[in-house]
Amino acid sequence: MRTNTPLRRRAAVTAVALVTAAGLLPAAVLTAGPAAAETVHPRAAAWTVAGHGWGHGRGMSQHGALGAAQNGKGYGEIVSFYYPGTTLTPVDTSQDWIRVLLTADWKKELSSPPLSPSLQVDYAAGLTAHAGGRSMPLGAADLWQVVRVGSRSSDRLVLQSFANGQWTSHRMPGDTDIYNAGPIAFTSTSGVLRRIYPTGQTRDYRNELRAVDAGSGLAVVNHLLMEPYLKAVVPAEMPASWHLEALRAQSVAARSYSSRVRADARKANPSGAWDICDSTQCQVYGGVGSEDPRTNGAVDATAGRTLMYGGYPVFAEFSSSNGGWTVAGKHPYQVAKHDPYDGLAGGSVHRWSAKLTPADLEKRFPQLGTLTRLRVVTRDGNGDWGGRVLTVVLEGVKDGAATSVTTTGREVYLSRPWPSVGDGLRSNWWTITGSTSDPVGSLDLVRSGPTGERIAGWALDRDADVNLRVHVYVDGRGTIVCAYALNAPGTPGSTKLLGCRDVVAKHRPFGALDHVSQVPGGGGVRGWTIDPDTTGPVTVHAYVGGRAVRSAVADRYRPDVGTAFPGYGDSHGYSAVAPLASTEGPQSVCVYALNVAGSAGSSSRLGCRTLDVRHRPLGRLDGVRISGGRLTAEGWALDPDTAASIAVHLYVDGRPVSATSASLTRHDIAAAFPGYGPAHGYRVSASVPPGAHRACVYALNAAGTPGSSVLLGCATASS
């Protein structure tokens, strides 16, 4: 907490770490950082805790995927980084079915399946029940349900309808009574079913809902195709507002994970009734209500693409944030390595602070009694403080005898987990940073500049009116900077971590491809780029279909970039028009920033977009009228390859009768097609005899450009 303490007790921390080709050279204290030795923490009223990441850290970091996408990486590059050694393979999922165990509001472990007293659905058009290969159309009712009769030893499922205030049981075709072994399933004509949960909550699901007799209750299973299933998974696992490349990476990870879990489930239990669950124990699935147009597009854009290893789908685990290091798992593609993307997108999960109390640990470990001290014994060796906590020893006293509990960093985290507790821990990557006798302060800034990394902050010791020494550490790879405040000599307390920041010794140009659109003359590209080694402009190359077609210099005025990257100036924007191929349809447009000659680094891709290219004219016949013996047609037309006005021809009753140039002012067209101007309206007329006449207008393709003439429309008018 900041106070009105005299400024001479607040030691300002300022250092510059110079980036060179060899790594990061700090101008402050030059050591590799404290060793990850055992640390001992005597009992305190509460400990302050710093930490990284949220979740297990294996596989893809979702925040890392966002950071990578925001920095120009495509979804293929993202999944390749997080699942090294795997192959992104197209798989036919048109008949790829998956069975999802629905738990919704139920809170039980999968080893004890979350069972329901009934499967209850709203009546819908074409509602049909299915059992044992037989089907029965169901009549209109308020509700239909399957219940389990626990008093019977077999054939315990019963189909019922609710109408006029009472339940009625029904016999399935071929059964001698109302009892059935199941499963009993529901489908509807629309392909969507609304389930009513025991709590009154409702959710819509696609294709089929099954009630399975699970011994002591019903297991409710949604049977549907893989791709529609993923459209309800991706937005439940990642915000639909995130960068499209991150959403596509999530789609690939979710598809790969689902395929692997399904294969493993069917191999372990070929007669099992479900493949996967709908909760965080598997991956979250919310039914139709979770679907979103942006994530639907991400799933469609990656349709069927599955990560494979050794011919088998990958167990593509993912978590919210790995804190800057991936965690090794049991599979070859689950490796521990530094993640430069996890902290780029900001947010509260990459780096966090929390509180931990002895009472939290005493509650989770009642055999401990009264905690006397906490010992962090081993870590995994990766990242800040020696990495994630593996082994913790809790020492205490109970009934006059000493006690000791050996546990894990994860168990300590779960003793006060966020978000269940607002100031709780978020992963097993944590460190106790101090108590009330230690120095306080902050590492406020680590910012790249043309001469290196600037480091700034403050520190004070409340037990002494002195300036404090602050040590800055840089890890051996030059990717993490940490600042420590040394406790004032002769006072209680110990050295305090002020904070750590991820940095990357950047030499390659970075920037963004902000916009791509078809404009007169080709594909217009706009964006910005900076080479970290210079304040000067960078050359960019635009590629269409894999061919370099245009070069430009990024020297346009971009004050927003200058504000975001102090010291580099405001002149780093680029704008260019890249010639497009003469064919119509999707064309890939990419922009690369060339590394400045004589500096470290290499060229980098700023981004790629797919442009749906059209060369034939666009336009519309807005209306046709006859007045005073003349037929007049009005509308607009333009050729995507030029801003110039183009010719239009009028046909009446199948004969060409007049021509004009589409050059009248249409400000609405100028607004709808930036760069083309307003001169694209037309009004063309011809004399006609009394009666009804059919008029058609054609737009002629601009001379010397690809494409062909097109019909803008036809209409009939009478005099």
The token pair at 694 is 């059919």
Strands (E), 346-439: 351-356, 370-379, 389-398, 401-407, 430-434
**How far apart are alpha carbons 423 and 427 in whole angstroms?**
13
Tell me the Ramachandran region of residue 451: left when phi exceeds 0, alpha when psi lies from -120 to 50, beta otherwise.
Answer: alpha
**How far apart are alpha carbons 625 and 660 in whole angstroms?**
17
pLDDT of residue 435: 58
Distances from the Cα of 477 to the Cα of 19, 32, 326, 382, 494, angstroms: 12, 9, 16, 12, 27
pLDDT of residue 448: 63
DSSP 91: -
CATH for the stretch 510-613: 2.60.40
Are the beta carbons of 481 and 474 closer than 8 angstroms? yes
pLDDT of residue 478: 52
CA–CA–CA angle 164, 218, 282 (5° rounding): 125
Which fold is adopted by the domain 618-718? Immunoglobulin-like (2.60.40)
Stretches in the chain below the pLDDT threshold 50 = 1-35, 105-112
pLDDT of residue 475: 64
**How far apart are alpha carbons 12 and 16 in whole angstroms?**
13
* Domain chopping of the chain, boundaries: 7-56+350-502, 72-96+229-319, 116-213, 510-613, 618-718
How crowded is residue 72: how many other Cβ atoms within 10 Å of its Cβ? 23
pLDDT of residue 117: 82
pLDDT of residue 32: 32
DSSP for 604-639 reads EEEEEEEEEE--S-EEEEEEEEEETTEEEEEEEEE-
pLDDT of residue 12: 40
Are the beta carbons of 318 and 60 closer than 8 angstroms? yes
> What pairs with residue 589 in β-bridges?
544, 609
Q: Compute, in degrees rounded to 10, the torsion defined by CA atoms 264, 270, 274, 277.
A: -20
**How far apart are alpha carbons 411 and 580 in whole angstroms?**
58
The torsion angles phi and psi of 39, rounded to 5 degrees, stand at -120, 145
pLDDT of residue 434: 67
- Terminal CA-CA length for the chain: 84
pTM, full prediction:
0.59
Write the pLDDT tens digit of every residue in 284-333. Answer: 999 999 999 999 999 999 999 999 999 999 999 999 999 999 999 999 99
- The reply to whether 618-718 shares the fold of 510-613 is yes
